[in-house]
Amino acid sequence: MINKSVVVFFLFLGLLTACNLTSPNQNIEASISPTVPPTPLPFPSSLPPTDSSTEVVLSSTTLAITLNQTVLDRASQVVQTLKNQDFISFAGYVHPLNGVRFSPYAFVQETDQVFSVDEIGSIMADSKVYTWGSYAGTGEPINLSFPAYYSEFIYDVNFTNAPQVALNHRLSAGNSIDNSAEFYPGSMFVEYYFPGFDPQYGGMDWRSLRLVFSEYNGTWALVDIIHDEWTP
């Protein structure tokens, strides 16, 4: 007969062994620290800064930001073609039906010269003398070829470097009346403005180039280039 004390001993030994054993998975989990997912970086709160040398002025009229930017971008492209005297590319921005008018001063007139898309592409090779209006102060006729008019009344300064650009707002303040909004109802215009060049003139030597756009089939087409400056 088996001794009861021996049976009790072996039962106790088996129970002790079972308590000391742990599963392999339990050991692995205990040795690995829990993983915390990384915190994502926030999106930028603002767009990159634009060129601080140019101030963009918007009118008080509330318009969609995308529309404002579309017209400003289009004007910038037009000014670049003017700087490069690339009138083939320039023609692509001109109103297909109305052509583009050239106004030597702020007051737009029906008698200002107008050129069609087909005419404007080769205009720099045109030696014909046109009458563009009358000189402010003297009243003498402005009789110039297009290349001469370009140098005096379109790109007389480097407007791509203008320190101020305005959308639907006149920065200049000459004696000539600005009637572009009345002449082109529903249009948008972008003005490139230099407040002056020589301090001795107290700002009276300012220059502006105003580009007028009218909507045509969902596109803002160029209808006028207005040169503006101080007039007596």
pTM here?
0.74
Return the pLDDT at 167: 95
What is the structure's pLDDT at 34? 36
- 3-state SS class at 96: coil
Instruction: Return the pLDDT at 56.
Output: 77
- Whole-number pLDDT of residue 28: 33
pLDDT the model gives residue 191: 97
pLDDT at position 67:
84
pLDDT in tens, the chain (232 residues): 444 444 444 444 444 444 444 443 443 333 333 333 332 322 222 222 334 466 777 655 545 678 889 999 999 999 999 999 999 999 999 999 999 999 999 999 999 999 999 999 999 999 999 999 999 989 999 999 999 999 999 999 999 999 999 999 999 777 789 999 999 999 999 999 999 999 999 999 999 999 999 999 999 999 999 999 998 8
Burial 149-166 (b: 16+ CB within 10 A, else e): bbeebbbeeebeebebbb
34: left (phi over 0), alpha (psi -120 to 50) or beta: beta
Rounded distance between C-alpha atoms, residue 149 and residue 120, angstroms: 14
Cα distance between residue 191 and residue 209, in whole Å? 6
User: Hey, where are the domains in the chain?
Assistant: 56-229
pLDDT at 229: 94
**177 membership: H or E segment, kind and range:** none
**For position 53, what pLDDT does the model report?**
60
Is the distance from CB of 195 to CB of 164 less than 8 angstroms? yes
Q: What is the pLDDT of residue 164?
A: 96
CA angle 64, 96, 110 (to 5 degrees): 90
The CATH number corresponding to 56-229 among 1.20.272, 3.40.30, 3.10.450, 3.30.450 equals: 3.10.450
